[in-house]
Amino acid sequence: MNIKSLEQMEKIVNSSNTLFWDGWSVINRYRSEKGRTSKYGAYIDGKWYMTRKFVPGKNGWDIPESFINAQTKMER
């Protein structure tokens, strides 16, 4: 799903425990031992995580619909 509005993307990130800002990009990060061997792994504060980066393009951020909670869907 494409999110074109910065305000809407901020609401999505603020409502999630796994999404974080990295400049204009949004990072999905969750703890997983699979991070040890994955090219998407990251070692942060002594723990392994899996990460996925969503970089904005000309149509905004293309993120999975599962990250959009019911409240954010109603506001669209």
| Predicted TM-score (pTM) of this structure | 0.82
pLDDT score of 46: 96
pLDDT tens by residue, 23-41? 999 999 999 999 999 999 9
- What is the full DSSP assignment across 45-68? TTEEEEEEEE--BTTBEE--GGGS
pLDDT score of 72: 57
Query: Average of pLDDT values for 47-67?
Result: 94
Quick check: helix, strand or coil at residue 43?
strand
pLDDT score of 43: 96
Domain ranges of the chain: 2-75
Q: Each residue of 24-62: b (16+ CB within 10 Å) or e?
A: eebbbbeeeeebeeeeeeeeeeeebbbbeebebeeebbe
Write the DSSP symbol of residue 18.
S
